[in-house]
Amino acid sequence: MSQSLTTFPVAVSREELEEGSVFSPRFDANGLITCVTTEAISGELLMVAYMNAEALAKTLETGEAWYWSRSRKELWHKGDTSGQLQTVQEIRVDCDQDALWLKVSVAGDGGCCHTGRESCFYRLLESKDGSPQLTRDHV
Amino acid sequence: MSQSLTTFPVAVSREELEEGSVFSPRFDANGLITCVTTEAISGELLMVAYMNAEALAKTLETGEAWYWSRSRKELWHKGDTSGQLQTVQEIRVDCDQDALWLKVSVAGDGGCCHTGRESCFYRLLESKDGSPQLTRDHV
C-alpha cells in the first residue's frame, strides 16, 4: 500500500457517510479512531484500542492489527513482542464511521491483555453495600 | 445516588488500577470514557459511545444506559426519544480502566442505531480492486 493511502476519503454528505460504500473513517481531534476487537469465532470482546491513519493503513495492508499506543505515543504492531499477533478476519465500521470493529484470530498463546488474560475485560462491576466494586472472574 | 458520586476514585497505583477491586474509571482529556455496548443475550455489538462522569453515575444509579453525546454536547439517555432504552445487565471494565463494556437488553423495537438498524455496525469493509469499500449486509 502506498504512503498516499494513509489519507482516507472524507464523506461528502451525511447520506454518503451513513449509507454509502466509500470508506471514510472519521478520526478525532487527536487523529484517532476507536477500535473494538473481538475474537472472530467466540465473539469475545478482547480489547478496545485506537488507530491513527497510519495504523489503519498498515492493518489494511498487512491483514494484522496495528494500533496507536496512546501511552507510548507510537505505532503498535499488536503481538510484535508477545507473539499475540491478531490476524484480521473481518472489519466493520459504524454508522457515522468513527468506530471500527475488528474480528481477529490471535496467534501465540491466544492471549490479548498485557496482564496475561485472554481479554482485557476480566473485571465485573458490581454493587456492594450500594457502592460500585470490581470483581475478577477471569483469574 | 448523591451528587458526590459523580466523582470517582483515582487508582493509587498501577497494581490497584489493574488488579484492584476499586472502580477507578479513567476519563480522557475531554472527560470521557469509551463504552462498548453489546446485546446481553446474543452478544451482538450494538454501538460504541462515550460517557462522562455524570452519564456513568446516572447509568449506575438508574440501571439504564446514559451516554454523553459528543455531537450534541449533552447528556443522552439512550432511548428517551426512540423508546430503545437499554437496561444494563452487566458492566465490565478493562485492565487500565479506560474502557467500559455494557451488556444490555433493549426495549422498544429492539433497535439501537439511529438509522433504524439493530446495530450501528451494519457495514463490512471489503477490498475491491485493491481498495477498501463498504458493503451493507444488514438492510
> Using one digit for the tens of pLDDT, what is the confidence trace for B18-51?
999 999 999 999 999 999 999 999 999 999 999 9
Q: Within 13 Å of residue A66, how many CA atoms lie on the same side as its CB?
A: 15
Chain B contact for A43, CB < 8 A? yes
- B4: its cell numbers: 458526590
pLDDT of residue B7: 86
Choose the closest CB to A134 out of B23, B45, B125. B23
Q: CB of A53 within 8 Å of any CB in chain B?
A: no
Which residues of chain A make contact with B47, given a CB cutoff of 8 A? 94
CATH number, domain with residue A113: 3.10.20.810
A40 and chain B: CB distance < 8 Å anywhere?
Answer: no
Q: Which cell numbers in the block locate residue B104?
A: 444490555
For residue range A67-109, list pLDDT tens digits in order. 999 999 999 999 999 999 999 999 999 999 999 999 999 999 9
Q: What is the DSSP string of A27-86?
A: --TTS-EEEEEEETTT--EEEEEEE-HHHHHHHHHHSB-EEEETTTTEEEETTTTTS--E
A104 membership: H or E segment, kind and range: strand A99-106
pLDDT band for position B2 (50/70/90)?
Answer: very low
The whole domain housing A106 covers: 3-136
Residue A138: predicted pLDDT: 57
Contact between B51 and B68 (Cβ < 8 Å):
yes
Question: Are B38 and A45 inside 8 Å of each other by CB?
Answer: yes
The number of folded domains in chain B is 1
The residue type found at A114 is: H
pLDDT at A139 over 60: no
Confidence of residue A127 (pLDDT cuts 50, 70, 90): confident
Residue A85 forms contact with B (CB below 8 Å) = no
All three cell numbers of B92, joined, read: 465490565
Please give the C-alpha separations between residue A6 and each of A1, A22, B125, in angstroms, as whole numbers.
9, 15, 16
Alpha-carbon distance B89 to B39, whole Å?
9
Q: Tell me the chain B residues in contact with residue A114 when contact means C-beta distances shorter than 8 Å.
A: 95
Q: Distance between CA atoms of B91 and A25, rounded to whole angstroms? A: 28
pTM value is 0.93
Highest mean pLDDT (candidates A4-18, A104-118, B44-58): B44-58
Q: What is the pLDDT of residues B67-126, one digit of tens each?
A: 999 999 999 999 999 999 999 999 999 999 999 999 999 999 988 999 999 999 999 999
